[in-house]
Structure 1
C-alpha cells in the first residue's frame, strides 16, 4: 500500500499552518524537558483556553454541562483534560493518551562526592538508553528540591546562554584499547555515568581545615546554598534529571525536520494537547491524558497503571449526575482511544533492522500500529478490525495523511505503549503516533510534515470519532 509524501500535497495556507504548529511545538519542547515542566506548561495553556481545575468544580459543587472544560493533575507529573460533550459520560469519551517522560539520567538520593579534587553527582539512568550516547555531551540539570519546611525549589541549570553546562566524561581514544573491545552495551557502564559537577576548591578560611575537608565538594555545597538555599541533606528529597542542554532546532538544509531531545513521546503529547485546545463543541466528551513513567513500565502513582484516571472519571460522573460505579465502568468501556506513542521511522542506514513493507516513513503522516509488543506480539494491545475501519473512515474524512506500520522486523525486538492498560477497561484502543529517527537517543529527529499530520489526525479523531 503506497502512501504519498505529504509535502507534495500541501497548499500555501497548509504550509503556513504547518510552520505555525511546528514553531509552537519547538517552543513546548524547549519549555518542557521534564514531566513536571510539561504539566506546568499544559496547565498554563489549558487555563488560557478557559479550562478550570477539577478541585474548583468540586469545591463549588458545580454540575457538569456541555462545553465545560476541566483538568486534573496528579502529583505535578500527570494531567488529564476534558471538554464535556453533548452525550452523557457513560456513552464514552474520545481519548488521546500520550506520555511525557523521556529517557534520561537521574540524580541519586546521596549523590554528591569528591574524587581526586573533582566533584561529581552520582546517577542512575532512566528508561532504555544506549549509555555510550550520553558521554561528552553538554548536559543540563532540571528538577525540584523539596525541603523539610515544605518549600519546593525549582532548578533549571544549563539551558541559558550564560549558564554553565555539565558533562559525563569518556576515556580518551589513546588509552581505550580494552574499552573498544567491549560490547556496545558494556562500553560505558551505568556507574560510569556520573556527572562532572565542579573542580574548584573552596577559599581557605581560618575555621576550615583544608587538610581534612573535601574542599571541592565544600565549594559546590556553598554555591548550592548561595544560589538555591539547598543543603546536602536536601538531595534526599529531590527529583533532579539530567538532560541534553540546548534547544530544539530545525534539521536539514530545507528545514523540513526537527532535532530535539525528548520527542519520544512529547511529539505525540504536545500535538494531542494542541488538538485538544483547538476543539470546539463535540458530541462525545473529548479527553487528553498525558502521563508519566511509560519508559519504565507505566508504574507508580503517576503512571498509567495507577487509578488516577479512573478516579477522575468517577469524580466527573458524580458531578454530572450522581455517584455510580456502573456509570464509571460504562464511561471507560464505551470510550475510544488513540494511545499515541512514537513509531520507528525507516532508516536506510540501518535497513537490515526493518521490514520495508511494514515500516513507517518520514512525511507519510500519522502512524497507526495495529499491535506493538515484541516478537510474537508479546505484551501488545491488538486492535480489532472494526475499530481500524472506523479509524480509516475518520482520517479520510479529515483528509489526514496516515500510514500503518510495525516496529521493525518480527524477531528484531519491539516495544510497548500504554494501549494495553486502557484496553483492560474494554475500550477500543489503537497505537498511533509520529515516526522518529534515532529514537531514545539524546537527540531525536522528526519530520515537520508528520508533526502537522499528527495534530490534524488527533483533532479529527476528537471531533469525528
Structure 2
C-alpha cells in the first residue's frame, strides 16, 4: 500500500462547519445538497418524469437525500457504487403539546429520540431547530442557535449518593428543559416564538418536527489539536465524507465504470422503518427509476443490482483508554488509524470476506490504512443500515466507519485525520 495521503486539515475544518450548520437531519440534507449543487448536481422531483441524461442529480425527501452521477455512455445495466449513511442522531425532540412548566418555571415538553447518553444533555446550553410545516403546505427550516434551553441537574446536596451510586435519570420526569420563568403556561407560546423568530405570520405553522441541540460549536482538542470534539458525528461525519466523495468522483466524468451514489437516510437511530429510512423503498425506487430513465428493462435492473456494492458508513467504537476491557482483546481500533471495517458473524453488520476485499482494494488505491472492529463476545454490538440494505435490495454491502469515543453523547470525539482518510477511501471506492 502506498503512503497515506497527506492530511488536509481543510477537510476537517469543513466537517466542523457542516456539523455546526446541521442541527437536524433536515438541515444536514439541505447543506449536502448545497455542496452538490456547487459540484454541478441538480435537484429532481419525485413527481416529475426523469430523463436518462448524463450528469449529477439528487432528490430530497424530509431528512433524507439520495444523489447519483450518471457518466456519459453509461448503459442501462451499469452497476452502482453506493455510499450509505444516516442523518439522524439521538437527541431530545419536542412533543405535540410543547408548552409545559411547574413551580414558576416555563418548560418545553420533550420526548427521547433514539438512545442518547442522557447525562450528557444536563447543564448544557441548548438551542432548538427543525422543520415547520405551514398552513399553505410548504415547509420552513428554523434554527435558534443560541442558549435557549437547559436541562438542570439536581444539586449534589439533594442527591448525596450520586457520585457513589451513580446518576439515575427518569426520562419523563428529569429530562424536560427549562426556557424561562412564569406561572402562566399558555398553549402555543413556543410555536408563536418560533414563528416570530423565523419571520412567519402568526398562526401560519400547523405542524412541526423540532429537536434540541447543543449550541457549543465543534472544536479542535489536545496539545497538537489532533482531536475533534463536536455534536452529531454519529453519523454526519459519514454524510459529509460521502458528499465530498461523490462530488470528487463526479469530476472524473465519463471515465467512471460505475454510477456513484450517496444515500443518506433518516431514522436509523430508531430502526429505519419510515418513508425516509433505509428500511423503506426510497433507495430501491431511485435505483430502479435511474435504470428505466436510461431505457432499461427489468433484466437491466437485475444485472445492475447484481454488480452493485454498498459501503454502509457509520461511526464505530475506538478503544477507550479507561475501559479497554470492554473491547475485544485482539481488536483495538484507534483514532487516526484510518477507517474501520466492521465485522459481526451474526449479521449485525453486513461485512463478509468478499466485501472486505472490495474495501481493502479501495483503501489500497487511496493509500489509506484501515482497521477492523469486532465486538467483545460478552457485549453484543449495535447495528447499522448495512444489513437492512443488503436484505432489502439484495446488494452486496460492507459496514465501515470512523472510530470515535463518546458515541451518542452530546459531544463525541474523533481524530482530526480520520474524516479526511475516510473521504479518500470513499472517493476511491466510488471511482471504481
Q: Give me the TM-score of the superposition, normalised by structure 2.
A: 0.90
For the residue of structure 1 that corresponds to 2:425, the secondary structure is: helix
Give per-residue Cα distances to partners, 1:294-347, cap 9 Å, x unaligned: 11111111100111111112221121014x334333323320111001110011
Change (3 A) 1:21 1:50: same
For residues 10 and 161 of structure 2, the distance between their equivalents in structure 1, rounded to whole angstroms, comes to 50
2:51 maps to 1:78: no
Which of 113, 117, 134 lines up with 2:121 in the alignment?
134
**Is residue 200–residue 216 contact of structure 1 (8 Å, CA) maintained in 2?**
no
Partner of 1:169: 152
For residues 301 and 289 of structure 1, the distance between their equivalents in structure 2, rounded to whole angstroms, comes to 13
How far has the Cα of 1:399 moved from its partner?
1.1
For residues 369 and 124 of structure 1, the distance between their equivalents in structure 2, rounded to whole angstroms, comes to 31
Partner of 1:419: 386
For residues 135 and 164 of structure 2, the distance between their equivalents in structure 1, rounded to whole angstroms, comes to 48
Partner of 1:187: 169
For the residue of structure 1 that corresponds to 2:325, the secondary structure is: helix
Query: 1:62-461, aligned counterparts within 5 Å?
Result: 62-65=51-54, 68-74=55-61, 76-85=62-71, 86-157=73-144, 159=145, 163-177=146-160, 184=167, 186-200=168-182, 214=184, 223-224=193-194, 226-228=196-198, 229=200, 234=205, 237-279=207-249, 280-281=252-253, 282-322=256-296, 324-371=297-344, 377-407=345-375, 409-424=376-391, 425-461=393-429
Q: CA RMSD in A?
A: 2.6
Change (3 A) 1:378 1:120: farther
Change (3 A) 1:215 1:397: closer
Give per-residue Cα distances to partners, 1:398-440, cap 9 Å, x unaligned: 2112111223x11113110111112122221110110011111
Give per-residue Cα distances to partners, 1:264-294, cap 9 Å, x unaligned: 0111110111111111231111111111001
Change (3 A) 1:388 1:350: same
Give per-residue Cα distances to partners, 1:358-417, cap 9 Å, x unaligned: 12111110111133xxxxx5452443323322332332122112111223x111131101
For the residue of structure 1 that corresponds to 2:238, the secondary structure is: helix
Instruction: Give unmatched runs, 5+ long, in structure 2.
Output: none
Give per-residue Cα distances to partners, 1:50-101, cap 9 Å, x unaligned: 1112339955x63333xx1111112x31111111145424242111111111
Give per-residue Cα distances to partners, 1:99-130, cap 9 Å, x unaligned: 11111110100120231221111111111122
Tell me how many residue pairs correspond in the alignment: 425
For residues 273 and 46 of structure 2, the distance between their equivalents in structure 1, rounded to whole angstroms, comes to 28
For residues 452 and 340 of structure 1, the distance between their equivalents in structure 2, rounded to whole angstroms, comes to 14
Q: Which has the higher helix share?
A: 1
Change (3 A) 1:153 1:19: same
**Is residue 341–residue 370 contact of structure 2 (8 Å, CA) maintained in 1?**
yes
For residues 243 and 108 of structure 1, the distance between their equivalents in structure 2, rounded to whole angstroms, comes to 15
2:44 maps to 1:54: yes
Partner of 1:208: none
2:430 maps to 1:462: yes
**Is residue 221–residue 231 contact of structure 1 (8 Å, CA) maintained in 2?**
no
Change (3 A) 1:400 1:294: same
Q: Give me the TM-score of the superposition, normalised by structure 1.
A: 0.84
For residues 194 and 336 of structure 2, the distance between their equivalents in structure 1, rounded to whole angstroms, comes to 46
Instruction: Decide which structure has the larger Cα Rg and report it.
Output: 1
**Is residue 341–residue 356 contact of structure 2 (8 Å, CA) maintained in 1?**
no
For residues 107 and 215 of structure 1, the distance between their equivalents in structure 2, rounded to whole angstroms, comes to 16
